[in-house]
Amino acid sequence: MDRISKQTANAAYLAWTLLSCAVHILLFRGKVNMALAVWQRLLLVPIAILAVLFVHEGVHFVFMKLFGLGKVKLIFARDKLGIPTPGVLAQKQGTKRQEIIMRLAPFALLTLLPDILFAFYSGVHLLFFLMAMANCAGCFYDLLDVCRLLKAERG
């Protein structure tokens, strides 16, 4: 981490995760179809998290390909708990504008767009709601990278 410690970033990530989940629950709890058994609801949580991990990285992958950043591949890296998580690696680096777009794309497509749709639609399936919420929580480091790129651009 550039100027912030890992401990500060982890605390900020935890705060972002809790806040983003709370905001989603407060805004959309009346829109979500909860007509599922408790065991089905609980089963959907890990399914949503796993699905959003791959779809999120898939969005990065598509944008890297669209920007012509050479060979792009899906990789698995171990997180802090030792769990292999997917990521995407490109052969070349994009321009600052491309990097910002690539980092914001999953947040826009998998969180903001569904949230806008949720506002106008009742009976949202719990899986889609959980995926939007999990993606929002998982976009913390993408958004942090965008802030760093914008700050570096200014000065």
Residue with tokens 């983003």: 20
pTM of the model: 0.89
pLDDT on residue 82: 77
pLDDT on residue 66: 96
DSSP codes, 5-55: -HHHHHHHHHHHHHHHHHHHHHHHTTTEE--S-HHHHHHHHHHHHHHHHHH
pLDDT on residue 10: 81
- For the four alpha carbons of 12, 80, 43 and 88, in that order, the dihedral sign comes to positive
pLDDT on residue 8: 83
| CB neighbour list of residue 112: distance below 8 Å, 6 or more residues apart | none
The domain segmentation of the chain, as residue ranges, is 6-154
Rounded average pLDDT per 10-residue block, the chain, 155 residues: 70 90 91 93 95 96 96 88 86 94 96 93 92 93 91 75
For 154, the enclosing helix (H) or strand (E) is helix 140-154
Among residues 74, 69, 35, which one has the least CA distance to residue 54? 74
pLDDT on residue 3: 59
pLDDT on residue 1: 47
